[in-house]
Each structure stands twice: as structure tokens, then as C-alpha cells.
Amino acid sequence: MKIGELAKRSGLSAHTIRYYERIGLLPHADRDQSGQRDYDASILIWIEFLDRLKTTGMPIREMLRYAALRERGVGTEAERSALLEQHRERVRAHVVELQTCLLVLDTKIAGYAGKDQRMKDYDAPIPQRRKPAGARQAGAR
């Protein structure tokens, strides 16, 4: 598949694809007779995985490390696994942080949703306490 088709199917721009190839995130593409890049459809799976790593906040240097290990093949599984496990822990911590933020937002939104009732309660006249029967007024004797 040509770079334009890969761009369309992957959601990346042709410029990004060339950049990823240049820095080593994508393997160098085969070239056709006219010298144009010719990608195998299987590259889409790798691009989707890279997109997941990017979305979850993995720094490009770690993505490059993973890609280099992947390129070396068999024998790097333990290192790749360790890299992904470390990243997973950072993602989990971030999810917990986001859940805490979401709770704050939900609480704030709920407060605005009840604003009319709060204002009604605030503006209501303060009920007068009634004095018990037979109570004396101060200063009256």
C-alpha cells in the first residue's frame, strides 16, 4: 500500500509516517520499481499499537526503545514486557488521578444542578423561634 493509502487508513499524515520511519518507530518500507514506499497492510496493527502508547502518555523515547527491542526480535520479550509493565503502572496511577478529578467535577456539577434549590433555601425567611408559654421577657418584673 502506498503512503497515501496508509495515511488514510491509519489516521496519520504522510509527513508523520515518514517522520516515524526516519526516527525508527516504523520499519523502513519496501520500495516499488519507481522508488515509492510500499507498505504491507500488517503495519496498520503496529501503528495502532503505537497510537495506544501515545494516547496513554508513553514518551517517544520509550516508544523508540520498545520499537528497537521489537526489531531485534526473539530474546527481547522480557525487556519489552518490563517496559510495558512499567508503563501500565504509570497509566493505572494516571487513571486513579483522573478518577479523583472526575469526582471533583461531578461534585461541582451536582452543586450547580441544585443551585436553584440552594438559592430558594437561602432566600427563605428565617423561621422565628416561638417562646415557650409562660416565659418571661427580659427586664419585665
pLDDT at 111: 83
Q: What is the pTM of this model?
A: 0.72
108 in a structural domain: no
**For residue 19, what are the domain limits?**
1-55
| Structural domain count, the chain | 1
pLDDT in tens, 70-96: 999 999 999 999 999 999 999 999 999
Q: What is the pLDDT of residue 113?
A: 76
The reported pLDDT for the residue numbered 120 is: 63
CATH number, domain containing residue 48: 1.10.1660.10
User: Could you tell me if residue 32 is inside a domain?
Assistant: yes
- Report DSSP letters for the chain, one per residue: --HHHHHHHHS--HHHHHHHHHHTSSPPPEE-TTS-EE--TTHHHHHHHHHHHHHTT--HHHHHHHHHHHHH-TT-HHHHHHHHHHHHHHHHHHHHHHHHHHHHHHHHHHHHHTHHHHHHHHHSPPPPPPPPTTPPPTT--
Tell whether the model's pLDDT for residue 18 goes beyond 60.
Answer: yes
